[in-house]
């Protein structure tokens, strides 16, 4: 399979792009070619003003089952450093549009780390999520100790990382690791409807909210509030602010242009 086939992108007419892992024979395991294809797909969408929300998904058996260990078993630290694979996750996390991970089946190791780099996670009830790296002698290296701790707290993060045992989608939602949990066969439809709803919102406001939440999370409260306040003030210069408030006063649906 060529690199261009490992990750498929569909741009819909409702402002939503669907990025899909396409390595079903390996449960969408994230070999280096798949990671690069994923990053390329997201980079290509960064400046596309017609795309206002992105759904990242796999198939019904796996979102992404983790790293492809065949590419790691003989590698040493220098080779791992030189791969600079963190840049591939960075492309997902820094996409200006909101990103929804639609998780069915396995989201293990790097697969869960990619999902946590997104802004919303919709899981199927029987999906399996976990950080099993300790079971093969290593640890998470792309957010599994950091984003997971921020999502579920120290003690559950320790449990998931130290035992390597997965949890179900239902459990993930109860812990705050997922924004929504639905029956397995409804995951993608639910995510697409949610994405379409977000895509109808003013794009500049959605992007400003994403920036404030993502960057404010790791800042002091005072700094985060300043970031929020400045973004709030800037939005008063947009045409969508005028349209949204006018439409509310006139009791009609607004038409947002992303300006």
For domain 3-199, say whether CATH 3.90.226.10 is its number: yes
pLDDT > 90: what percent of the chain?
A: 85
- So what's the pLDDT on residue 85? 79
- The C-alpha angle 29, 35, 39, rounded to 5 degrees, equals 145
For domain 203-249, say whether CATH 1.10.12.10 is its number: yes
Q: Per-residue DSSP letters for 98-124? A: -EEEEE-SEEETHHHHHHHTSSEEEEE
Mean pLDDT of 66-85: 79
110 is catalytic: yes
Decide: 143 and 113 in contact? Cβ < 8 Å: yes
Q: Which residue in the list 64, 102, 133, 195 is annotated as catalytic?
A: 133
Q: Which residue in the list 17, 33, 39, 67 is annotated as catalytic?
A: 67
Q: Which residue in the list 62, 91, 107, 113 is annotated as catalytic?
A: 113
Q: Is 12 exposed, middle or buried (0-12, 13-18, 19+ CB in 10 A)?
A: middle
- So what's the pLDDT on residue 87? 86
What phi and psi values does residue 174 have, to the nearest 5 degrees? Answer: -65, -30
List Cα–Cα distances, 252 to 11, 24, 83, 236, 244, in angstroms: 29, 46, 53, 20, 9
- So what's the pLDDT on residue 2? 64
pLDDT tens column, 115-136: 999 999 999 999 999 999 999 9
239 is catalytic: no
Decide: 92 and 55 in contact? Cβ < 8 Å: no
111 is catalytic: no
113 is catalytic: yes
Q: How many CB atoms lie within 10 A of CB 159?
A: 13
pLDDT tens column, 40-53: 999 999 999 999 99
- Left, alpha or beta for 113 (phi > 0: left; psi -120 to 50: alpha)? alpha
The radius of gyration computed from the CA coordinates of the chain, to the nearest angstrom, equals: 19
- So what's the pLDDT on residue 3? 66
pLDDT tens column, 220-242: 999 999 999 999 999 999 999 99
pTM over 0.75? The answer is yes
- So what's the pLDDT on residue 1? 58
**Closest to 30 measured CA to CA, from 160, 142, 169:** 142
7: helix, strand or coil: strand
Domain ranges of the chain: 3-199, 203-249
What string of H, E and C letters represents the secondary structure of 131-172?
A: CCHHHHCCCCCCCCCCHHHHHHCHHHHHHHHHHCCCEEHHHH
Q: Which residue in the list 110, 143, 169, 244 is annotated as catalytic?
A: 110
């Amino acid at each position: 399979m060529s690199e261009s086939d490992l990750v498929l992108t569909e741009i819909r007419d409702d402002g939503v792009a669907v990025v899909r892992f396409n390595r079903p024979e390996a449960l969408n395991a994230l070999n280096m070619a798949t990671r690069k294809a994923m990053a390329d797909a997201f980079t290509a969408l960064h400046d596309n003003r017609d795309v206002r929300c992105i759904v990242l998904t796999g198939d019904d058996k796996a979102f992404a089952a983790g790293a492809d260990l065949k590419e790691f078993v003989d590698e040493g630290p220098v080779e791992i450093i030189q791969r600079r694979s963190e840049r591939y996750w960075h492309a997902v996390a820094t996409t200006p549009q909101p990103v929804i991970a639609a998780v069915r089946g396995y989201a293990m190791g790097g697969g869960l780390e990619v999902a946590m780099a997104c802004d919303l996670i919709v899981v199927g009830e029987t999906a399996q999520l976990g950080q099993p790296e300790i079971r093969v002698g290593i640890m998470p290296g792309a957010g599994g100790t950091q984003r997971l701790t921020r999502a579920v707290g120290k003690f559950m993060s320790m449990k998931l990382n130290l035992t390597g045992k997965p949890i179900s989608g239902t459990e993930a939602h109860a812990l705050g690791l997922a924004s929504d949990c639905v029956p397995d066969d409804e995951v993608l439809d639910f995510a697409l409807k949610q994405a379409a709803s977000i895509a109808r919102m003013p794009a500049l406001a959605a992007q400003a909210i994403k920036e404030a939440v993502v960057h404010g999370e790791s800042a002091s409260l005072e700094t985060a509030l300043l970031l929020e306040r400045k973004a709030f003030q800037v939005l008063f210069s947009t045409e969508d602010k005028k349209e949204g408030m006018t439409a509310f006063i006139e009791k009609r649906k607004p038409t947002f242009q992303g300006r």
